[in-house]
Protein backbone atom coordinates (compact mmCIF):
# COMPACT_ATOMS: atom_id res chain seq x y z
CA UNK A 1 0.00 0.00 0.00
CA UNK A 2 1.38 3.39 -0.96
CA UNK A 3 1.43 5.97 1.80
CA UNK A 4 1.87 9.50 0.57
CA UNK A 5 2.51 11.09 3.96
CA UNK A 6 5.43 8.81 4.78
CA UNK A 7 8.70 10.73 5.05
CA UNK A 8 11.46 8.99 3.18
CA UNK A 9 15.08 9.70 3.90
CA UNK A 10 17.26 9.75 0.76
CA UNK A 11 20.24 7.45 0.54
CA UNK A 12 23.69 9.03 0.70
CA UNK A 13 25.53 8.91 -2.60
CA UNK A 14 28.40 7.00 -0.98
CA UNK A 15 26.00 4.11 -0.21
CA UNK A 16 24.93 3.67 -3.84
CA UNK A 17 26.47 0.56 -5.42
CA UNK A 18 29.32 1.52 -7.77
CA UNK A 19 27.69 -0.23 -10.74
CA UNK A 20 24.47 1.76 -10.35
CA UNK A 21 26.44 5.00 -9.98
CA UNK A 22 28.49 4.07 -13.07
CA UNK A 23 25.26 3.54 -15.02
CA UNK A 24 24.07 6.97 -13.89
CA UNK A 25 27.30 8.54 -15.20
CA UNK A 26 26.93 6.56 -18.45
CA UNK A 27 23.35 7.71 -19.11
CA UNK A 28 24.23 11.33 -18.34
CA UNK A 29 27.26 11.27 -20.65
CA UNK A 30 25.34 9.60 -23.50
CA UNK A 31 22.43 12.01 -23.11
CA UNK A 32 24.62 15.12 -23.03
CA UNK A 33 26.70 13.84 -25.96
CA UNK A 34 23.54 13.22 -28.00
CA UNK A 35 22.10 16.66 -27.25
CA UNK A 36 25.38 18.47 -27.93
CA UNK A 37 26.11 16.64 -31.17
CA UNK A 38 22.48 16.92 -32.27
CA UNK A 39 22.25 20.68 -31.84
CA UNK A 40 25.82 21.96 -32.00
CA UNK A 41 27.92 19.17 -33.51
CA UNK A 42 29.19 19.15 -37.06
CA UNK A 43 26.95 17.39 -39.53
CA UNK A 44 29.71 15.00 -40.60
CA UNK A 45 29.92 13.70 -37.00
CA UNK A 46 26.17 13.02 -36.94
CA UNK A 47 26.46 11.36 -40.35
CA UNK A 48 29.29 9.16 -39.07
CA UNK A 49 27.40 8.12 -35.90
CA UNK A 50 23.97 7.55 -37.45
CA UNK A 51 24.79 4.19 -39.13
CA UNK A 52 26.15 2.83 -35.83
CA UNK A 53 23.67 4.21 -33.30
CA UNK A 54 20.56 4.58 -35.43
CA UNK A 55 18.13 7.46 -35.18
CA UNK A 56 17.52 7.10 -31.46
CA UNK A 57 21.07 7.14 -30.13
CA UNK A 58 20.18 7.89 -26.51
CA UNK A 59 16.40 7.71 -26.26
CA UNK A 60 16.22 4.96 -23.66
CA UNK A 61 19.08 6.49 -21.69
CA UNK A 62 17.60 9.99 -21.85
CA UNK A 63 14.23 8.81 -20.56
CA UNK A 64 15.79 6.69 -17.83
CA UNK A 65 17.94 9.44 -16.25
CA UNK A 66 15.12 10.39 -13.86
CA UNK A 67 14.57 6.78 -12.80
CA UNK A 68 18.29 6.13 -12.29
CA UNK A 69 18.60 9.19 -10.03
CA UNK A 70 15.44 8.11 -8.21
CA UNK A 71 16.79 4.58 -7.78
CA UNK A 72 20.08 5.94 -6.41
CA UNK A 73 18.48 8.30 -3.91
CA UNK A 74 15.27 6.40 -3.06
CA UNK A 75 15.99 2.75 -3.89
CA UNK A 76 13.07 0.66 -5.06
CA UNK A 77 12.59 -2.36 -7.24
CA UNK A 78 10.00 -0.34 -9.20
CA UNK A 79 12.54 2.28 -10.27
CA UNK A 80 15.01 -0.45 -11.21
CA UNK A 81 12.29 -2.29 -13.17
CA UNK A 82 11.56 0.89 -15.12
CA UNK A 83 15.24 1.28 -15.98
CA UNK A 84 15.35 -2.34 -17.11
CA UNK A 85 12.18 -1.84 -19.19
CA UNK A 86 13.82 1.02 -21.10
CA UNK A 87 16.86 -1.17 -21.75
CA UNK A 88 14.70 -4.10 -22.89
CA UNK A 89 12.85 -1.77 -25.27
CA UNK A 90 16.19 -0.74 -26.78
CA UNK A 91 17.10 -4.41 -27.27
CA UNK A 92 13.69 -5.11 -28.80
CA UNK A 93 14.01 -2.22 -31.25
CA UNK A 94 17.57 -3.33 -32.05
CA UNK A 95 16.39 -6.84 -32.86
CA UNK A 96 13.53 -5.51 -34.99
CA UNK A 97 16.01 -3.24 -36.77
CA UNK A 98 18.18 -6.24 -37.64
CA UNK A 99 15.23 -8.33 -38.83
CA UNK A 100 13.82 -5.70 -41.19
CA UNK A 101 14.91 -6.76 -44.68
CA UNK A 102 15.32 -3.25 -46.07
CA UNK A 103 17.67 -2.19 -43.23
CA UNK A 104 20.63 -4.19 -44.51
CA UNK A 105 22.10 -1.49 -46.73
CA UNK A 106 25.69 -0.99 -45.57
CA UNK A 107 26.62 1.14 -48.58
CA UNK A 108 23.70 3.51 -49.07
CA UNK A 109 25.07 6.90 -50.17
CA UNK A 110 22.67 8.62 -47.77
CA UNK A 111 24.38 8.43 -44.33
CA UNK A 112 21.01 8.72 -42.56
CA UNK A 113 19.80 5.51 -44.22
CA UNK A 114 23.07 3.60 -44.02
CA UNK A 115 23.28 0.76 -41.50
CA UNK A 116 26.58 -0.27 -39.98
CA UNK A 117 27.36 -3.88 -39.12
CA UNK A 118 28.36 -2.42 -35.71
CA UNK A 119 24.81 -1.23 -34.94
CA UNK A 120 23.85 -4.38 -32.93
CA UNK A 121 26.71 -3.56 -30.56
CA UNK A 122 25.02 -0.27 -29.62
CA UNK A 123 21.41 -1.40 -29.85
CA UNK A 124 21.63 -4.91 -28.40
CA UNK A 125 24.93 -5.83 -26.75
CA UNK A 126 25.52 -2.71 -24.62
CA UNK A 127 21.93 -2.64 -23.25
CA UNK A 128 22.12 -6.37 -22.44
CA UNK A 129 25.39 -5.84 -20.58
CA UNK A 130 23.70 -3.09 -18.53
CA UNK A 131 20.69 -5.34 -17.90
CA UNK A 132 22.99 -8.05 -16.54
CA UNK A 133 24.86 -5.55 -14.37
CA UNK A 134 21.66 -3.96 -13.01
CA UNK A 135 20.25 -7.37 -12.11
CA UNK A 136 23.21 -8.35 -9.92
CA UNK A 137 22.58 -9.37 -6.34
CA UNK A 138 24.19 -6.24 -4.88
CA UNK A 139 21.94 -3.86 -6.81
CA UNK A 140 18.87 -6.02 -6.16
CA UNK A 141 19.55 -6.00 -2.41
CA UNK A 142 20.19 -2.26 -2.51
CA UNK A 143 16.84 -1.67 -4.22
CA UNK A 144 15.00 -3.86 -1.70
CA UNK A 145 16.20 -1.83 1.30
CA UNK A 146 13.74 0.38 3.16
CA UNK A 147 14.95 3.92 3.69
CA UNK A 148 12.40 5.56 5.89
CA UNK A 149 13.02 7.91 8.75
Select the more confidently predicted residue: 55 or 21: 21
Is 27 within 8 Å of 78 (Cβ atoms)?
no
Q: What is the mean pLDDT of residues 23-44?
A: 91
Q: What is the mean pLDDT of residues 10-25?
A: 91
Report the C-alpha gap between 23 and 65 in whole angstroms.
9
**Predicted confidence band of residue 148 (pLDDT cuts 50, 70, 90):** very low
Is 14 within 8 Å of 72 (Cβ atoms)?
no
Neighbours of 42 (CB within 10 A): 9
Average pLDDT, the chain: 84
Q: What is the mean pLDDT of residues 8-24?
A: 89
**Predicted confidence band of residue 10 (pLDDT cuts 50, 70, 90):** confident
Is 34 within 8 Å of 63 (Cβ atoms)?
no
CA distances from residue 110 to 47, 48, 107, 114, 145 in whole angstroms, order as listed = 9, 11, 9, 6, 51
pLDDT at 147: 52
pLDDT at 8: 67
pLDDT at 59: 83
Is 114 within 8 Å of 7 (Cβ atoms)?
no
pLDDT at 1: 46
Is 127 within 8 Å of 87 (Cβ atoms)?
yes
pLDDT > 70 fraction of the chain, expressed in percent and rounded:
87
CA distances from residue 6 to 3, 11, 23, 125 in whole angstroms, order as listed = 6, 15, 29, 40
Note the maximum CA span of the chain.
Answer: 60
Report the C-alpha gap between 130 and 109 in whole angstroms.
33
Q: What is the mean pLDDT of residues 92-113?
A: 75
**Predicted confidence band of residue 13 (pLDDT cuts 50, 70, 90):** confident
Amino acid sequence: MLTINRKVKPVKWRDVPPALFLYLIFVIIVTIFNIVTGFFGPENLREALMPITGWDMSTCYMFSVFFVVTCCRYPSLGARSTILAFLWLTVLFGVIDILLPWRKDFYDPNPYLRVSPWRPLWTIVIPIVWIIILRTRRITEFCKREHSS
